[in-house]
Structure 1
């Protein structure tokens, strides 16, 4: 660790720390069932021009299934509706996307109470 002193503040820097996890959150507004818009800053910093494909793989704690969702410009489109329905997402929920690998995102849904949604059992998708 290195301690940098600036004025009366001391900042500790852990040189062995892991790189910052990349993530974003998005509140679900009316119309979210059709597509989900990726925040502009996250898109321009971490997605635009840095990937070869336009398919995102989504995972969650609610199911062992992975979801293939198509990105069109700044929107998640084909496959998003099925993901949202399978997770019973609703207006007012918030979803957090955490980048886990090359276009693989772990999605954690939170309800309007700002608590993560507790599923009574693993979702079974037919």
Structure 2
């Protein structure tokens, strides 16, 4: 590994045993964890600078980002939010949407996306 330095760390025995249960390469595992933590820190700093310049992210932007970062579970959450936003808009224009109509809308929404092989059920 170019540019690497060797360090010695002390870990609680239980933590080390837990790591050994998942990998034979504890050193590589810890290196990967440190790299991941550094990437998260750099991303947090970059996002903070962006928000300082352009304002806070909307809930929808945050949901879309989570979907990209965390996969299907976040995608279901995003789809549920999109449907909720749509139903809220319908209510503001046409009046209350019944619980039965909400359930039917969720069912149709799920059926369309399932038929296309897209996301799982809306949350």
> TM-score w.r.t. structure 1 length?
0.23
> TM-score w.r.t. structure 2 length?
0.23
Answer 1 or 2: which has greater strand percent: 1
**Bigger relative contact order, structure 1 or 2 (CA pairs below 8 A, ≥6 apart):** 1
